[in-house]
């Protein structure tokens, strides 16, 4: 890189370190942007499977009910 831009060594080395630091931060940021939606989708899938498993395992009592409404308006 120093030969391409013809930079002195005392400028090229800190510039390379800064470039490496910035590129690693940007790569981490890109990875986080991609990972967060996948984590949310995975959590929702896990929660749905656990809820369906819990409802299948529990003793379920099914009942029908009728609501009786008493009107006293005359």
Residues 15-45 pLDDT 10s: 889 999 999 999 999 999 999 999 999 999 9
Tell me what pLDDT residue 23 has: 96
CB of 30 within 8 A of CB of 20? Answer: no
Q: Which residue has the tokens 């009786």?
A: 68
Please determine, for residue 58, whether its predicted confidence score (pLDDT) is greater than 60. no
Q: Which of 39-43, 60-64, 70-74 ranks highest by mean pLDDT?
A: 39-43
Average pLDDT, the chain: 81
């Amino acid at each position: 890189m120093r030969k391409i831009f013809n930079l002195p060594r005392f400028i090229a080395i800190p510039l390379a370190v800064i470039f490496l630091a910035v590129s690693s931060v940007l790569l981490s940021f890109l990875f986080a942007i991609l990972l967060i939606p996948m984590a949310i989708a995975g959590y929702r899938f896990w929660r749905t499977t656990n809820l369906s498993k819990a409802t299948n395992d529990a003793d379920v009592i099914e009942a029908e009910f009728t609501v009786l409404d008493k009107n006293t308006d005359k």
